[in-house]
């Protein structure tokens, strides 16, 4: 593109190729990045092309629209138009089908990318086998143990626990009654008395009497 041409040949070729109406702003936006055309240069070039009759110009209010000279294109009869419409419909359907296929393939690709690789699967299977072997060995050890607790021994332990818990409650109640009796004539607070007497409560030791 020569400086003298000022982009006119590029714009003319573009309008003839697209064969649809454009404003000067549209042409500037579409060609500026690829050809480095300035907006003023585009406006002047399009006005010059219209003046020379190489393109057509229509004014709508304050806006000018430019398009290719239709005289250069051969006439299209109704049969050709119908054939073009049919081809457009077929291509549109094909595009829609391909788009759907692409979406499905994209979804499958994302699923594959999020799945484990063959090497990762082999490694995980080996880890699970090792873990299972450990559990089997542990189970066999438990089965072969000779120091199982019998139901009678278990019952004995529970009964002893009940006795100790009852005694715990009894002694705690007695201690509480004694402390309350002393506090009736004690000039300080309960906490101060317990500190001076060196008494540690269940709460201090962070324990509690079992409910059952």
| Residue 150 Ramachandran class (φ > 0 left, ψ -120 to 50 alpha, else beta) | beta
pLDDT in tens, 13-61: 999 999 999 999 999 999 988 888 889 999 999 999 999 999 999 999 8
pLDDT in tens, 161-209: 888 888 988 998 898 898 888 888 888 888 888 888 888 888 888 888 8
DSSP 7: T
Q: How many CB atoms lie within 10 A of CB 207?
A: 10
pLDDT in tens, 66-107: 999 988 888 778 887 788 888 888 989 999 999 999 988 888
State the Cα–Cα distance between residues 32 and 11, nearest whole angstrom.
11
Q: Are 39 and 74 in contact (CB under 8 A)?
A: no
DSSP 51: H
What are the b/e assignments for 121-147, b being 16+ CB within 10 Å?
eeeeeeeeeeeeeeeeeeeeeeeeeee
Which alpha helices (DSSP H) does the chain contain, by range? 8-18, 24-35, 39-51, 78-114, 118-144, 151-183, 190-197
């Amino acid at each position: 593109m020569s400086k003298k041409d000022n982009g006119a040949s590029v714009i003319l070729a573009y309008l003839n190729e697209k064969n649809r109406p454009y404003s000067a702003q549209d042409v500037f936006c579409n060609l500026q990045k690829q050809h480095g055309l300035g907006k003023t240069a585009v406006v002047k070039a399009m006005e010059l092309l219209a003046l020379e009759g190489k393109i057509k110009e229509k004014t709508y209010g304050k806006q000018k629209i430019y398009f290719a000279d239709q005289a250069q294109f051969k006439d299209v009869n109704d049969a050709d138009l119908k054939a073009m419409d049919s081809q457009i419909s077929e291509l549109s359907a094909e595009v829609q089908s391909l788009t759907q296929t692409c979406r499905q393939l994209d979804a499958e690709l994302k699923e594959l990318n999020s799945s484990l690789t063959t090497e990762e699967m082999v490694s995980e299977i080996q880890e699970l086998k090792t873990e299972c072997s450990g559990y089997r060995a542990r189970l066999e050890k438990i089965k072969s143990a000779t120091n199982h607790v019998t139901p009678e021994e278990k019952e004995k332990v529970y009964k002893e626990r009940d006795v100790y818990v009852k005694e715990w409650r009894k002694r705690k109640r007695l201690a509480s009654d004694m402390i309350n009796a002393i506090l009736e004539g004690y000039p300080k607070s309960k906490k101060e008395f317990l500190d001076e007497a060196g008494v540690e409560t269940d709460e201090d030791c962070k324990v509690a009497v079992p409910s059952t």
